[in-house]
């Protein structure tokens, strides 16, 4: 029997949860429906590329950084490890040390963020020290169930440290239905050039 994939992406719609609940970050859908005139229905969507489940490219935080044009989509069709780290609003290096992480591992962090569908200003994030630990461990990527991988750290060191080491960053995952363990991931952003971030569909299949 083929195991179904679990969709861990956030549906995109005008009322969805956005970073810090900022109105300008809500996607705008304008539907031009001319079906009753015998024509077509087409929707124009205006939205930030960091909406919902998305990946960050280095240009997001680094002058002259790499963009979506430089990204090979084969990179995110791969094995990942989901780590459950609850009851804390900060992921520290110590939390990651509790796992047997190997060079090349791609981890997805399931935190208290996955237990709520509203934006929390005290969302769980990855600290600078944990990012440094990830670099030392030579991780390939980190995904988190928050709309940002860090908060309240001046100059965004978590982003910068991970990006400088070419560690992929996925944000806005929805992991409430996923248990800790190993999964095959299919995570594909649209093929759009020159972007600092891109929304993506992320699917996980448990590895038995």
| The dihedral formed by the CA atoms of 161, 164, 167 and 173, expressed in degrees to the nearest 10 | 60
Of 80 and 200, the one with the shorter C-beta distance to Zn ion is 200
Of 19 and 99, the one with the shorter C-beta distance to Zn ion is 19
Nearest in space to 127 (alpha carbons), one of 91, 161, 165, 155: 91
Binding of residue 110 to Zn ion (CB under 5 A): no
**DSSP at 97:** H
Cα(130)–Cα(207) distance, integer angstroms:
26
CB of 78 to Zn ion, least distance (A): 20
Residue whose CB is nearest to Zn ion in the complex, by number: 50
Binding of residue 145 to Zn ion (CB under 5 A): no
Tell me the two tokens of residue 126.
């990855």
Tell me the two tokens of residue 104.
């090349």
- 3-class SS letters over 20-71: HHCHHHCCEEEEEECHHHCCCEEEEEECCCCCCCEEECHHHCCCCCCCHHHC
Binding of residue 197 to Zn ion (CB under 5 A): yes
Q: Interface mask (CB under 5 A) for Zn ion, residues 30-59, using x and -?
A: --------------------x-----x---
CB of 105 to Zn ion, least distance (A): 21
CB of 182 to Zn ion, least distance (A): 25
Nearest in space to 146 (alpha carbons), one of 190, 188, 109, 199: 109
Q: Interface mask (CB under 5 A) for Zn ion, residues 160-179, using x and -?
A: -----------x--------
Of 54 and 81, the one with the shorter C-beta distance to Zn ion is 54
CB of 19 to Zn ion, least distance (A): 8
CB of 56 to Zn ion, least distance (A): 4
Q: Under rule CB under 5 A, which residues in 119-138 are in contact with Zn ion?
A: none
Distances (CA, A) of 126 to 103, 142, 160: 19, 10, 12
Of 56 and 145, the one with the shorter C-beta distance to Zn ion is 56
Residues in touch with Zn ion (CB under 5 A): 50, 56, 171, 197
């Amino acid at each position: 029997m083929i195991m179904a994939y679990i969709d861990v992406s956030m549906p995109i719609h005008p009322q969805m949860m956005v970073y810090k609940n900022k109105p300008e970050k809500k996607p705008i859908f304008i539907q031009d429906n001319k079906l009753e005139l015998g024509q077509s229905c087409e929707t124009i969507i205006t939205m930030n590329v960091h909406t919902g489940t998305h990946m960050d490219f280095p240009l997001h935080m680094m002058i002259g950084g790499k963009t979506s044009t430089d990204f090979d989509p084969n990179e995110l069709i791969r094995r990942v490890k989901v780590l459950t780290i609850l009851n804390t609003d900060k992921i520290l290096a110590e939390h990651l040390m509790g796992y047997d992480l190997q060079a090349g591992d791609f981890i997805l962090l399931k935190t208290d963020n996955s237990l709520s569908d509203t934006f929390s200003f005290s969302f769980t994030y990855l600290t600078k020290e944990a990012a440094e630990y990830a670099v030392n461990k030579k991780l390939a990527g980190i995904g988190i169930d928050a709309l940002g991988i860090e908060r309240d750290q001046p100059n965004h060191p978590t982003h910068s440290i991970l990006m400088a080491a070419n560690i992929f960053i996925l944000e806005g995952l929805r992991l409430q239905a996923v248990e800790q363990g190993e999964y095959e991931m299919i995570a594909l952003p649209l093929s759009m050039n020159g972007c600092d971030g891109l929304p993506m569909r992320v699917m996980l299949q448990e590895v038995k």
